[in-house]
């Protein structure tokens, strides 16, 4: 199974509610950054277990609570380039987050019936690059609240073998992932531009 290592989380501001600023949009994404890693891992786990391009749903846990479930299609064959076309379901999903005072932030994510889509192209595995996009709506509760439509495209970065994983495991290269796109709430549309 290919894995992408979890990344450090950016500090959050002390102001929380619905997404009403560029900072809030960034914070809302940061609560999902670990979910993207998990979704990539689950997609590759489904690929490894599949007998065809269609993969059965694979489920993982949030760091704090809830689940992320992915399914869809993954390119078959022995090429060092792979494409994944996944749908993502979140149920009470929460990862650990803190603000700039190291106080915990508790934002919980769910998905509506129309599931977000995560498309990923891996190139030159294992020491190569990836291009991805995450398109869809999540529903937030607790510290950040409300419906949030994410159009994260492109998400780009480098990949490398994971020295702490199995023989074929991968991870994102720290500091190489660039996330751009928009987050739209009832307050408006806000830009996201983050390097991780």
Each residue's pLDDT tens digit, 50-64: 677 888 899 999 999
Nearest to 170 by CA among 110, 128, 134, 132: 128
Each residue's pLDDT tens digit, 10-20: 223 334 468 88
Region label for 80, one of left (φ > 0), alpha (ψ between -120 and 50) or beta (otherwise): alpha
pTM exceeds 0.75, yes or no: yes
Q: How confident is the model at residue 162 (pLDDT cuts 50, 70, 90)?
A: confident
Domains of the chain, residue spans: 22-195
Q: How confident is the model at residue 149 (pLDDT cuts 50, 70, 90)?
A: very high
**Letter string b/e over residues 147-159, b meaning 16 or more CB atoms within 10 A of that residue's CB:** ebebebbebbbbb
* Bigger pLDDT: 145 vs 165: 145
* Bigger pLDDT: 41 vs 31: 31
Whole-number Å distance between alpha carbons of 186 and 79: 44
Average pLDDT over residues 150-173: 84
Whole-number Å distance between alpha carbons of 152 and 135: 6
């Amino acid at each position: 199974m290919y894995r992408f290592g979890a990344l450090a989380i950016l500090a959050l501001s002390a102001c929380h509610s619905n997404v009403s600023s560029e900072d809030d949009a960034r914070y809302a994404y940061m609560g999902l950054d670990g979910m993207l890693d998990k979704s990539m891992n689950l997609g590759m786990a489904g690929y490894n277990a599949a007998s065809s391009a269609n993969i059965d749903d694979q489920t993982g846990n949030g760091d704090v609570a809830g689940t992320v479930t992915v399914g869809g299609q993954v390119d078959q064959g022995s090429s060092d380039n792979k494409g994944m076309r996944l749908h993502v379901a979140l149920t009470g999903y929460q990862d650990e987050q803190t603000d700039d005072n190291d106080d915990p932030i508790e934002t919980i994510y769910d998905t509506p019936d129309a599931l977000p889509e995560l498309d990923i192209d891996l190139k030159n595995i294992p020491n190569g690059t990836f291009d991805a996009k995450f398109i869809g709506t999540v529903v937030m509760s607790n510290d950040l609240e409300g419906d949030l439509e994410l159009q994260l495209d492109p998400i780009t970065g480098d990949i490398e073998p994971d020295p702490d994983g199995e023989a074929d495991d991968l991870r994102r290269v720290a500091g190489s992932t660039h996330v751009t796109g928009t987050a739209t709430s009832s307050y408006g549309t806000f830009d996201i531009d983050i390097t991780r």
